[in-house]
């Protein structure tokens, strides 16, 4: 999937997909991400406009921080991280990138499911994952979780 995004004519697509997988942010949260609300030293991004109306601070992985450092313009950066991009543009670019890779039925929102599953596989507890993903209801959070049975078996020994 990432190689298909890298081959896309839209330069931003691979970065947005990586950030989605690393942060479990919703597509709208990624597009609204602003430089002045990111603290790379503390590895956090503050989200003001979320689906449930509450702001939250998201912890950033080292991969997400490295991507943002690479993308950050010189000097004091302000404004949106990805300027001039809409959620509809991301959705269409993502679908177009999936076609030549013969990836069918994958939606951008599925990346959020994958990201949340990866957080659990890294050993984070449900409350920690909920703090990152913004879920208030743990039952809803568990609907996003699709754990790999082989990885669970390896943990069991």
> Which of the residues are catalytic?
26, 51, 109, 112, 135, 144
Contact yes or no for 87/28 (Cβ under 8 A) = yes
Residue 140, token pair as written in the block: 């809803």
Contact yes or no for 2/14 (Cβ under 8 A) = yes
Residues contacting residue 35 through CB under 8 Å, at least 6 positions apart: 72, 77, 78, 79, 80, 81
């Amino acid at each position: 999937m990432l190689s298909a995004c890298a081959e896309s004519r839209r330069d931003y697509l691979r970065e947005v997909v990586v950030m989605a997988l690393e942060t479990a942010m919703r597509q709208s949260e990624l597009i609204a991400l602003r430089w002045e609300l990111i603290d790379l030293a503390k590895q956090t991004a503050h989200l003001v406009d979320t689906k449930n109306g509450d702001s939250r601070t998201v912890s950033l992985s080292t991969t997400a921080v490295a991507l943002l450092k690479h993308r950050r313009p010189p000097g004091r950066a302000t404004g949106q991280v990805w300027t001039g991009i809409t959620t509809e543009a991301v959705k269409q670019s993502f679908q177009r990138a999936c076609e030549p890779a013969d990836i069918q039925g994958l939606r951008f929102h599925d990346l959020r499911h994958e990201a949340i599953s990866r957080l659990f596989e890294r050993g984070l507890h449900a409350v920690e994952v909920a703090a990152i993903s913004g879920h208030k209801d743990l039952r809803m959070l568990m609907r996003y979780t699709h754990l790999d049975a082989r990885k669970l078996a390896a943990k069991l020994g």
